[in-house]
Amino acid sequence: MTWDVGGAVSLTALAHVTITGRAYAEIWSDRHCPVRGNTPNGFEGTDPIQVCVDMAEGKLSPQDASRVRELTGNTGNGLFNRENGARFLLSLIGEIAADDNYNIYFILEGAPFMQSERALFTNLFSGSMPDTDYRVYARVGVTYKF
């Protein structure tokens, strides 16, 4: 679960551009691995991600096991406990009205100061993410209003 709590301030210019500054706290409670159980795959509930299987079977390299402990703050087989955390983020959002129904937006956000990484935003836990949570994120998109 993730909660974002904060505030935003917007400024509209030229009738087609809106710039928004946002400050918020990101609060999370992640369970990376299902509870260990007496099922054929060794876990209760859904199929676990690979890092859970490797950690349970002792197949992680010492470097990866150390990195998992560092990211989750848990020791031993702590992946099977819940990881809770919070961090402060700032973002800058630009939105351009392309026409009456379509907007294009850009978001640049990040965690100022030296704040901890979030395990879920690393390659060990989410295959499409980089090896490190760089704590700076950029997004571009299109919205359709009807």
Dihedral of CA atoms 117, 21, 14, 105 in degrees, nearest 10, equals 30
User: Cα-flanking dihedrals φ and ψ of residue 100, to 5°?
Assistant: -65, -30
- pLDDT on residue 56: 78
Q: Are residues 135 and 94 in the same domain?
A: yes
Chain segment 26-63, per-residue pLDDT in tens: 999 988 887 776 666 667 777 788 888 888 788 888 89
Chain segment 81-92, per-residue pLDDT in tens: 788 889 999 999
- pLDDT on residue 142: 96
- pLDDT on residue 110: 93
d(CA 5, CA 12): 23
Q: What is the mean pLDDT of residues 114-134?
A: 88
Q: Are residues 72 and 139 in the same domain?
A: no
Beta bridge partners of 12: 18
What distances in angstroms separate CA 93 from CA 12, 48, 100, 130, 137, one per listed residue? 12, 35, 19, 23, 12
Q: Does pLDDT of 141 surpass 90?
A: yes
4 confidence band (pLDDT: 50, 70, 90): very high
Q: Are residues 47 and 76 in the same domain?
A: yes
Domain region containing 62: 32-81
Q: What is the mean pLDDT of residues 86-99?
A: 94
Mean pLDDT: which of 20-24, 85-89, 109-113 is highest?
20-24
Last residue of a domain, one of 81, 99, 118: 81
- pLDDT on residue 25: 95
DSSP 8-state class, residue 48: P
Q: Are residues 38 and 59 in the same domain?
A: yes
